[in-house]
Amino acid sequence: MADKLRVVVTGMGMRTPIGNTLKDVAEALKAGKSGIPYMPDWEQIDRMRTKVAGVCDIAGEEASISRTFRRSMGRVATLATLAAIDAVDDSGINKGEIASPACGVSFGSTAGSTSEQVVQMGRMIQNQSLAGLPSSAYLKCMSHTCAGNLATLFHCRGPFIASCVACASGSQGIGFGYEAISRGKAPIMVTGGAEEMYFMHAAIFDVLMATSSTYNGRPHETPRPFDAARDGLVVSEGAGCLMLEEYEHARHRGANIYAEILGYWTNSSGMHLTDSDPQSMEECMRAALKDAGVNAEDIEHVSAHATATDSGDTAEAIATHRVFGPKVPVTALKGNTGHTLGASGAIEAIASILMGREGFMSHTLNLAEPDPELPPLNHIMKGPLDRGFSLGVINNFAFGGVNTSLVIRNFLP
């Protein structure tokens, strides 16, 4: 699309298991910090193999959200809101313009608040009664609770998009926001993704034998993306929000520009609901590069999805090697944060921007010995690279055969 408008990032906010501010997350990545603790309460869950997870520390922060809005939010929407408030403040965009048709919302999550769903449905089933069911229950549980609550909180009246594609929800949130601006539908979009950690999320992957259980007694040693000793994913929570803005709109008001979204693509494997497919992953990456107008040889860093599952990492390594070969540096952030599910694409996009601008590439935590059965990639290991970068790719993949790829150009300070 030759006449598409340029789209830039002018504000960012996040809540993660390794920090809640841009500065803290950048420092945690440089230091190789793990956000994965042991979960003692899970010992009480019969047949639960995994006992590790990633949790955000937001104690006391909920009070910063007015009760008028907070009463319709479960934990997932609360995480999204805290990240979005930071991103909006960081952008410096006039609040009146955000509360107008000029600003839309494109935000994803795997589902609504799972903890609220279990509590309210359990109460109804056990009591066979609606007694005590709050009127706000559905608002906390609906699949578009994050996008809906954000639009209401900020009074946005522009385009409304709520992605609900599991682990690709956050990256689709950014991608669809990019497309809305690039096609002239709105000059401002609140974008990203969020997820809350609840044992049911881990249980779903546990019954698929896809969770990490070997390292329950050594939680900081898992997950292990691309490692020969990887044994599965670690479920986590978090939120990432990027304020996207049409370039001329941002330039006119003298905004601080972090990065430019150059290209985006999402596709389906059309093959299997849970098995990853190298061919469609490769096609997605190549289509995103084409949309961005750049070549694979131009890319300086790849942020891998890398859940540390056997089949997922294998398929991704094959596709990544086919597109980028063995030379481009690769980082897998989930070694630090665990798998934040619907938030992962947004958190990893922000991390990529932070790395590029602050002059480093974080290493893949817990990657000690790359699996020799996988195609060779230029993994960053043992410590961060003291090198910034401009052009980066962020890849995310999800159940349902969903693939996403973002191409971002950092505006180096």
Rounded to whole angstroms, the Cα distance separating 149 from 70 reads 9
Residue of 301, 305, 321, 363 marked active site = 305
CB 145 within 8 A of CB 112: yes
CB 306 within 8 A of CB 316: yes
Residue of 103, 167, 241, 284 marked active site = 167
Pairing of strands 391-398, 301-303: parallel
Rounded to whole angstroms, the Cα distance separating 74 from 230 reads 33
Q: Which amino acid is residue 319, in one-letter code? A: A
Rounded to whole angstroms, the Cα distance separating 74 from 153 reads 14
> DSSP label at 308?
S
Q: Is 339 annotated as catalytic?
A: yes
Tokens of 228: 């020969």
Residue of 301, 339, 363, 379 marked active site = 339
Rounded to whole angstroms, the Cα distance separating 394 from 285 reads 9
3-class SS of residue 128: coil
CB 330 within 8 A of CB 362: no
CB 402 within 8 A of CB 281: no
Q: Is 305 annotated as catalytic?
A: yes
Residue 352 CA: distances (Å) to CA of 57, 364, 394: 22, 13, 8
Q: Is 249 annotated as catalytic?
A: no
Output b/e per residue, 31-59; b: 16+ Cβ within 10 A.
ebbbbbeebeebeebeebbbbbbbbbebe
The three-state DSSP-derived secondary structure of 86-155 is HHHHHHCCCHHHHCCCCEEEEEECCCCCHHHHHHHHHHHHHHCCCCCCCCCHHHHHCCCHHHHHHHHHHC
Tokens of 397: 């993949």
Question: SS3 breakdown of the chain: % helix, strand, coil, rounded to 5?
Answer: 40, 20, 40
Task: List residues with catalytic annotation.
Answer: 167, 305, 339
